[in-house]
């Protein structure tokens, strides 16, 4: 299965195929310097499978976890590139989840003012969301993604076989972004979650490719209309304004990104019937639906959010499943959603 993202001056393919990790060299020129960026919890066999296809490869391994999306590791990647004489025609490969993808993409965006990278996402979250769209970033202290760049990958390769080694918490965490995609842009995707049992083995065997394809299709359509998030792309932030605040309040050690987005979606959904359907789906997917942080603390964090513009904020709301609206409001009004 192949999808194509078409952005002005940049077109790239997303390949979704079991076992494709062993065949990357068929699609991308790996006969150049290649820096593989991964983390220390990614099974070694995936790294080896990739390295075998690269005649001149270098490995940069960061510690697993959100705290690694930081300046220290960014500098580590820049040094790995410079010390090994990487030039503009060479390549970075992100082999891992959203953490690896975001920091590898940002290193690629900034080294020599931008070199190529490809994404090989290995978590549900990165396979169905973060590996496309070109948002790259690091955190500054506890503030998420505040330093970053738009830099699109040259290609994305999704091998669902690698999900078998992912732990349950991370498996379900990623599905929160697919529920979001259904809520904002594909009612049939949301209804699929209502119909299935929530059993991991069943989702993985029967539905995961469909879920990934549908979620990516929603994101792709939105990103193609508004790459730099000046307008419609903001709908992808459904659940994220409150979700990011919850993530930051946990000092990056509390809820995972998808889990925080799950809670954030619940908090901002006003329609009682939609909220009930959402709660049922999230519970089935073992995702949290509430938080215990003081509203004042979340409000303070949101006032520094990139989505806040002075005294106003744009909140994404869903009043009909499959359709999102951007609602501008005074920042003070956010308290009622916390
Ligand atoms: N750029 C974007 O558009 C975008 C969108 C959404 C989220 N994000 C970012 O993505 C990040 C979260 O990504 P994530 O949920 O993938 O988490 P992650 O990258 O931290 O990965 C989760 C854990 O799973 C392990 N892992 C990864 N693949 C594995 C596999 N196949 N088998 C066994 N273990 C594996 C990792 O080592 C890590 O410990 C956050 O930083 C978030 O801000 C970015």
The 10s digit of each residue's pLDDT in 211-224 is: 999 999 999 999 99
Residue 32, burial from CB neighbour count under 10 angstroms (0-12, 13-18, 19+): middle
Mean pLDDT across 94-112: 98
Domain co-membership, 330 together with 187: yes
Range of the domain at 21: 2-165
Catalytic residues: 113, 135, 177, 219, 229, 233, 237, 240, 244, 257
Cβ count near 87 (within 10 Å): 11
Closest C-alpha among 88, 133, 132, 128 to residue 108: 88
Pairing of strands 91-96, 33-39: parallel
When divided into structural domains, the chain yields a total of 2
In angstroms, the Cα distances linking 210 to 17, 40, 188, 261 are 12, 29, 11, 21
Task: Assess contact for 39 and 99: CB atoms under 8 A.
Answer: yes
Q: Is the pLDDT of residue 251 over 90?
A: no
Q: List, in sequence order, every beta strand (DSSP E) within 134-278.
A: 135-140, 143-150, 155-158
Question: Is the C-beta atom of 121 inside 6 A of ligand 1?
Answer: no
Q: Is the pLDDT of residue 250 over 90?
A: no
Helical ranges in 132-207 per DSSP H: 168-185, 187-195, 200-202
Task: Assess contact for 256 and 228: CB atoms under 8 A.
Answer: no
**What pLDDT is stored for residue 226 in this prediction?**
94
Q: Mean pLDDT over all residues of the chain? A: 95
**Ligand 1 centroid to residue 304 C-alpha, Å:** 24
**What pLDDT is stored for residue 306 in this prediction?**
64
**Ligand 1 centroid to residue 168 C-alpha, Å:** 13
pTM comes to 0.96
> pLDDT tens-digit profile of 157-176?
999 999 999 999 999 999 99
Residue 250, burial from CB neighbour count under 10 angstroms (0-12, 13-18, 19+): middle
Task: Assess contact for 312 and 328: CB atoms under 8 A.
Answer: yes
Mean pLDDT across 307-322: 87
- Residue 26 pLDDT level (bands cut at 50, 70, 90): very high
Domain co-membership, 182 together with 101: no
Percent of the chain residues past pLDDT 90, beyond the cut: 88
Domain co-membership, 156 together with 31: yes
Question: Is the C-beta atom of 248 inside 6 A of ligand 1?
Answer: no
- Residue 235 pLDDT level (bands cut at 50, 70, 90): very high
In angstroms, the Cα distances linking 23 to 30, 53, 155, 211, 250 are 11, 8, 13, 23, 40
**Ligand 1 centroid to residue 115 C-alpha, Å:** 22
Q: Give strand pairing partners of 10.
A: 7
**What pLDDT is stored for residue 139 in this prediction?**
92
List CB contacts of 281: < 8 A, sequence separation 6 or more.
Answer: 179, 190, 193, 194
**What pLDDT is stored for residue 132 in this prediction?**
97
Domain co-membership, 178 together with 98: no
Mean pLDDT across 178-199: 98
Domain co-membership, 299 together with 312: yes
270 is written with which tokens? 């006003």
Domain co-membership, 76 together with 191: no
Q: Is the pLDDT of residue 241 over 80?
A: yes
Question: Is the C-beta atom of 241 inside 6 A of ligand 1?
Answer: no
CATH value at residue 319: 1.20.1090.10
**What pLDDT is stored for residue 37 in this prediction?**
98
Which atom of ligand 1 lies at the shortest distance from residue 136's CA?
Answer: 1
Q: Is the pLDDT of residue 307 over 80?
A: no
Mean pLDDT across 60-77: 97
Task: From 165, 181, 204, give the residue that closes a domain.
Answer: 165
Domain co-membership, 323 together with 239: yes
């Amino acid at each position: 299965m192949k999808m194509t993202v078409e952005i002005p001056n940049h077109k790239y393919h997303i390949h979704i195929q079991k076992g494709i990790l062993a065949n990357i060299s068929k699609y991308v020129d790996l006969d150049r310097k290649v820096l593989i960026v991964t983390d220390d919890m990614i099974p070694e066999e995936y790294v080896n499978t990739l390295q075998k296809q690269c005649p001149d490869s270098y490995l940069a391994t960061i510690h697993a976890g959100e705290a690694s999306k930081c300046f220290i590791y960014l500098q580590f990647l820049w040094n790995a590139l410079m010390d090994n004489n990487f030039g503009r025609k060479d390549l970075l490969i992100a082999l891992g989840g959203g953490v690896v993808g975001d920091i590898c993409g940002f290193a690629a965006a900034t080294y020599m003012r931008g070199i190529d990278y490809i994404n090989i996402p290995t978590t549900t979250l990165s396979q169905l969301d973060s590996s496309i769209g070109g948002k790259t970033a690091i955190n500054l202290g506890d503030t998420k993604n505040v330093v970053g760049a738009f830099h699109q990958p040259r290609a994305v390769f999704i091998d669902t076989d690698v999900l078998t080694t992912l732990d349950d918490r991370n498996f379900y965490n990623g599905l929160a972004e697919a529920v979001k995609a259904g809520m904002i842009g594909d009612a049939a995707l949301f209804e699929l979650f209502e119909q299935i049992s929530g059993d991991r083995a069943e989702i993985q065997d029967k539905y995961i490719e469909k879920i990934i394809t549908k979620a990516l299709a929603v994101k792709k359509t939105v990103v193609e209309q508004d790459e730099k998030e000046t307008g419609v792309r903001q709908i992808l932030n459904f659940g994220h304004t409150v979700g990011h605040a919850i993530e930051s309040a946990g000092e990056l050690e509390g809820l995972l990104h998808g889990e925080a987005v799950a809670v954030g979606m619940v908090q901002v959904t006003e329609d009682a019937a939609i909220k009930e359907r959402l709660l049922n789906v999230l519970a089935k997917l073992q995702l949290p639906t509430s938080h215990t942080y003081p509203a004042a603390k979340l409000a303070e964090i949101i006032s520094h959010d990139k989505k806040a513009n002075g005294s106003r904020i744009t909140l994404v709301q869903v009043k009909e499943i499959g359709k999102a609206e951007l609602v501008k409001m005074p920042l003070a009004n956010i308290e009622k959603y916390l």
